[in-house]
Amino acid sequence: MFASLRYFSMKRILLSIASLALIAGTFSLQARDNSDVVMTVGGVPVTVGEFEYLYNKNRSQQATEMSVDEYAGLFADFKRKVLEAKACGLDTISAQRAEVERYTRELALPYLWDKDMADSLMHVAYDHVKENVEVSHIMLSVNANGSPERCAFLADSLKALAAAGADFADLADRFSAQPGDGYLGFLSAGTVPYSFERAAFDTPAGAYTIAVTPYGYHVIKVHSRRPDPGNVKVRHLLRLTRGLDEEQTAAVKKQIDSLYAVAVASPADFAALAGAYTDDPSGKNNGGDLDWFGSGRMVPAFEHASFALADGQISEPVLTPYGYHIILREGWRPTPSFEEMRPELEKMIRSDERQNAVRLRAVEKMRGPAGVKFDKKADKQLKKLFKKADGMDAALAERLKDDSTPLATVDGVPVTVKDVAATIRHNEIKGADNAYRIFCNSLNEIINSRVSDWMLVTLADREPEYANLRNEYIDGMLLYELCQQRIWGKPQSDPEGLEAYFKANADRYKWDRPRYRGMVVLAVSDSIADAAVAYLSELPDTLSTAAYSTELRKKFVNDAKIERVLAAQGDNAVIEYIAFGGPAPDKPGSRWVAFRAFRGEVIDAPTCAADVRSSVSVDYQEYLEKQFNDYLREKYPVEINYDVLHSL
């Protein structure tokens, strides 16, 4: 029933479908009013909107035609199970509630998104896609340089030196946390952290800028800009030189030159040549094939050579930090259009700090509906306090932490001075304006957090699609847990009930051939097999197979083992030999050459549920489900409004 849910586990999908079997027909639903009640189940109303939503979700996945009346009957059985699950308190289990909370927050994310701002950011991202920026950088690690403040000071100093004419490559070699001259080549959108990308693309050629990323502080030099050259498709053959000395590297150069001559002589066999001789592990399996790539996704030397080739052309050996490459270019394609790239651009926006700005804009737009109101009088008083103290000292900080004056309200709930003061880490802030700014920033963060919570709480009332998905997931989870307890898990949790069902229906379970039921001892020789059986025979016959196995290992280590089997005559060479008088099995290459029956018997028909566990379990589940449905139909009567139902 819930097969289209993105976050629903496959097991639950399959079980829900199997249990509910809400098979849709081919008729069309035309609801006159989503709030009309189509039926009540146990006194609980079901609206046209809910009924129609679930029907439409199932109809595209089912092939069997069914009348609306039949469908309504199955739907009612589904709702009965949901009501019973709630009556059993399954919706109050902490693990269930935590999973619902996680899922609903995940499901709500697309609705907590400002589409206008996201679209604007995607257009900016596409402008970056259409252009490449050639850059070098000096990376300053916070760990290596002591503190963010020291990194910022050093970055400013290095930027000033570079702008004054100092050699940037030399500065990078001396100060960067990354080895080398700092040259990164041409960058394209999405290849570096966005804060680095934004700084580089916003800086004119020949200028310097500073960016802060999770890796540290970066002094960036922009060398040049160019239109994006598109994407290329290549194969390559790599011979590694990293870590080799001069003599070894020279030997690799001779090898790659020889391979280049072979590649040029037979370009059609390049994939086979690469698969045979490349040092790229993945290339051995796919003939050196690489995915389409654009600027900034390969080391500069490899990228430059790939774009310089014509389609079908093979490069001379290209040296990169990894080794020598022979490259075959197979294709080129231009930069896709904005609409073609929209899904990829949105993925970019959702995967870095830009998503926070989009979500924040969505929250800020909902301040009005969430009833956010500011107390201007309290705000003026706050400014006076900061002005009088010329900032915030320890005494004022303590006073603010006990102040219950409301500064604002969200959905009628006040945000007080002490609420904000509790979030400020520093007890001393110099300057009245600075203290006021920090205080207001904290106030806004609290308000935005509460508005975000309000949006989640009220989302189901504002977004019918979200409400339907959320309710469907919750009902599906309750249904699964209920049926697992009452039906699906019973063959394992209630072996006595399963056995009783088998005894009452034993005549339904027949075999066409006799079977051996018992254990088999396997050993590396006949003498060990006989000794193992003799040893096991002295043990109690009530032990499990696992217990026999443990005892066997103590005595014979790995020279004997025991297995429990149920096998029909003719199905297994070992069983045919030990139970039905067949020839000794020939198992060449196996260390197990001797076989003995142990505490087993040949039976013509099943005598217990374990003999036909699979089929009797299915039948037992069907029996339990029928009983359970009969019980629920009596407990939760259904009243159908046929005027509404037949108007759909």
Per residue in 445-494, pLDDT (tens digit) is 999 999 999 999 999 999 988 999 999 999 999 999 999 999 999 999 99
pLDDT at 24 > cutoff 60? no
Residue 274 class from Cβ within 10 Å (0-12 exposed, 13-18 middle, 19+ buried)? buried
In SS3 terms, 380-421 reads as HHHHHHHHHHCEECHHHHHHHCCCCCEEEEECCEEEEHHHHH
Q: What range defines the domain where residue 513 resides? A: 509-607
Same domain, 237 and 181: no
Mean pLDDT computed over 51-61: 79
C-alpha–C-alpha distance, residues 573 and 200, integer Å: 72
Predicted confidence band of residue 9 (pLDDT cuts 50, 70, 90) = very low
pLDDT at 6: 29
Instruction: Using a pLDDT cut of 90, give the percent of the chain over it.
Output: 83
Structure confidence by residue, pLDDT tens digits, 304-349: 999 999 999 999 999 999 999 999 999 999 999 999 999 999 999 9
Structure confidence by residue, pLDDT tens digits, 600-638: 999 999 999 999 999 999 999 999 999 999 999 999 999
Same domain, 243 and 185: no
- Dihedral (C-alpha) 118, 122, 125, 127: value to the nearest 10 degrees? -130
C-alpha–C-alpha distance, residues 458 and 108, integer Å: 11
3-state SS assignment for residue 325 = strand
C-alpha–C-alpha distance, residues 485 and 472, integer Å: 20
Same domain, 424 and 382: yes
Mean pLDDT computed over 515-522: 96
β-pairing verdict for 429-430 and 391-392 = antiparallel
Which token pair is 379? 């705000």
Same domain, 372 and 442: yes
Q: Which of 85-94, 100-109, 548-557 has the lowest mean pLDDT?
A: 100-109
Asked if 236 and 278 touch (Cβ cutoff 8 Å), the reply is yes
Q: What is the CATH number of the domain that holds 187?
A: 3.10.50.40
Residue 321 located in a structural domain = yes
pLDDT at 584 > cutoff 50? yes
Backbone φ/ψ region at 66: left (φ over 0), alpha (ψ -120 to 50), beta? beta
Same domain, 318 and 238: yes
Same domain, 453 and 375: yes
Same domain, 140 and 215: yes
Complete DSSP assignment for 108-132:
HGGGS--HHHHHHHHHHHHHHHTEE
Asked if 475 and 19 touch (Cβ cutoff 8 Å), the reply is no
Structure confidence by residue, pLDDT tens digits, 237-296: 999 999 999 999 999 999 999 999 999 999 999 999 999 999 999 999 999 999 999 888
Amino acid sitting at position 555? K
Closest CA to 219 of 174, 171, 186, 165: 171
Closest CA to 197 of 135, 154, 139, 149: 135
Residue 378's φ and ψ, nearest 5 degrees, are -65, -35
Last residue of a domain, one of 227, 261, 296: 227
C-alpha–C-alpha distance, residues 55 and 67, integer Å: 12
C-alpha–C-alpha distance, residues 22 and 74, integer Å: 6
Predicted confidence band of residue 124 (pLDDT cuts 50, 70, 90) = very high
Residue 48's H or E segment, with its range, is: helix 48-59
pLDDT at 586: 84
Mean pLDDT computed over 356-377: 96
pLDDT at 4: 30
Residue 263's H or E segment, with its range, is: helix 246-265
pLDDT at 35: 84
pLDDT at 137: 97
Residue 641 located in a structural domain = no
Residue 44's φ and ψ, nearest 5 degrees, are -95, 125
In this structure, the number of other CB atoms found within 10 A of the CB of residue 545 comes to: 15
C-alpha–C-alpha distance, residues 195 and 267, integer Å: 43
Residue 342 located in a structural domain = no
Amino acid sitting at position 470? R
C-alpha–C-alpha distance, residues 632 and 79, integer Å: 10
pLDDT at 1 > cutoff 70? no
pLDDT at 372 > cutoff 80? yes
Residue 78's H or E segment, with its range, is: helix 68-87
pLDDT at 16 > cutoff 80? no
pLDDT at 131 > cutoff 50? yes
pTM above 0.75, yes or no: no
pLDDT at 29: 42
pLDDT at 70: 84
Predicted confidence band of residue 646 (pLDDT cuts 50, 70, 90) = confident
Closest CA to 419 of 444, 384, 392: 444
Apex CA 641: angle with CA 635 and CA 647, to 5°? 145
Closest CA to 233 of 327, 130, 338: 327
β-pairing verdict for 560-568 and 515-523 = antiparallel
Residue 303 class from Cβ within 10 Å (0-12 exposed, 13-18 middle, 19+ buried)? buried
Quick one: DSSP state of residue 461?
A: H
Closest CA to 76 of 14, 3, 22: 22
Total structural domains within the chain = 4
pLDDT at 57: 80
Predicted confidence band of residue 32 (pLDDT cuts 50, 70, 90) = low
pLDDT at 67: 79
pLDDT at 588: 76
Mean pLDDT computed over 561-581: 94
Residue 10's φ and ψ, nearest 5 degrees, are -60, -40
Same domain, 457 and 375: yes
pLDDT at 309: 97
Which token pair is 324? 């020598």
Residue 444 located in a structural domain = yes
Residue 90 located in a structural domain = no
Same domain, 198 and 260: no
pLDDT at 54: 86
Which has more pLDDT, 470 or 70?
470
Structure confidence by residue, pLDDT tens digits, 184-234: 989 999 999 999 999 999 999 999 999 999 999 999 999 999 999 999 999
pLDDT at 592 > cutoff 90? yes
Residue 116 located in a structural domain = no
Which has more pLDDT, 104 or 237?
237
3-state SS assignment for residue 328 = strand
Residue 101 located in a structural domain = no
pLDDT at 28: 41
C-alpha–C-alpha distance, residues 194 and 182, integer Å: 19
Which has more pLDDT, 586 or 629?
629
Same domain, 412 and 448: yes
Mean pLDDT computed over 591-603: 95
Same domain, 159 and 208: yes
Which has more pLDDT, 5 or 408?
408
Which token pair is 402? 């006990």
Range list of H helices, 109-228: 115-129, 142-145, 148-163, 168-175, 194-201
Last residue of a domain, one of 206, 227, 248: 227
pLDDT at 546 > cutoff 90? yes
Structure confidence by residue, pLDDT tens digits, 526-536: 999 999 999 99
Q: What's the whole-number average pLDDT of the chain?
A: 91
pLDDT at 31 > cutoff 70? no
Last residue of a domain, one of 196, 227, 258: 227
In this structure, the number of other CB atoms found within 10 A of the CB of residue 151 comes to: 22
Asked if 129 and 207 touch (Cβ cutoff 8 Å), the reply is no
Residue 428 located in a structural domain = yes
C-alpha–C-alpha distance, residues 498 and 489, integer Å: 11
Same domain, 237 and 223: no
Mean pLDDT computed over 26-52: 78
pLDDT at 440: 96
